[in-house]
Amino acid sequence: MGTKKSSKLDAEEAVQTRVRLMAASRAVPITLRMPEELNDWLDEYAHTHRKQGVKKQDLIARAVQLLVIDLSADIDGGEGDAA
């Protein structure tokens, strides 16, 4: 018998799997407009962590993945991780 908690965990796992599959798909170039100060912060962070292989595009891709997870939780009736 499935419980409400296990259903929620199953739904979260399905979202995580979908996000991993999307992240593994072919990368395409996009044009992105963002606030200048956020762009500056990303540049500084990537520059500071360049020896660890951190790239600005990877930071943005990860942020979008987390957004998809959060929005999917909201759509599926979950609570998401509202900050």
Residue 55 DSSP label:
-
Q: What are phi and psi of 2, to 5 degrees?
A: -90, 140
Map residue 40 onto helix, strand or coil.
helix
CB atoms inside a 10 Å sphere around CB 15:
19
Higher pLDDT among residues 4 and 67, named by residue: 67
Tokens of 61: 């891709």
The pLDDT value recorded for residue 83 is: 45
Residue 7: pLDDT band with limits 50, 70, 90: confident
Q: 0.75 cut: is pTM over it?
A: no
Structural domain spans, the chain: 4-75
Higher pLDDT among residues 49 and 65, named by residue: 49
Higher pLDDT among residues 57 and 83, named by residue: 57
pLDDT in tens, 13-62: 888 888 888 888 898 898 999 999 999 999 999 999 999 999 999 999 99
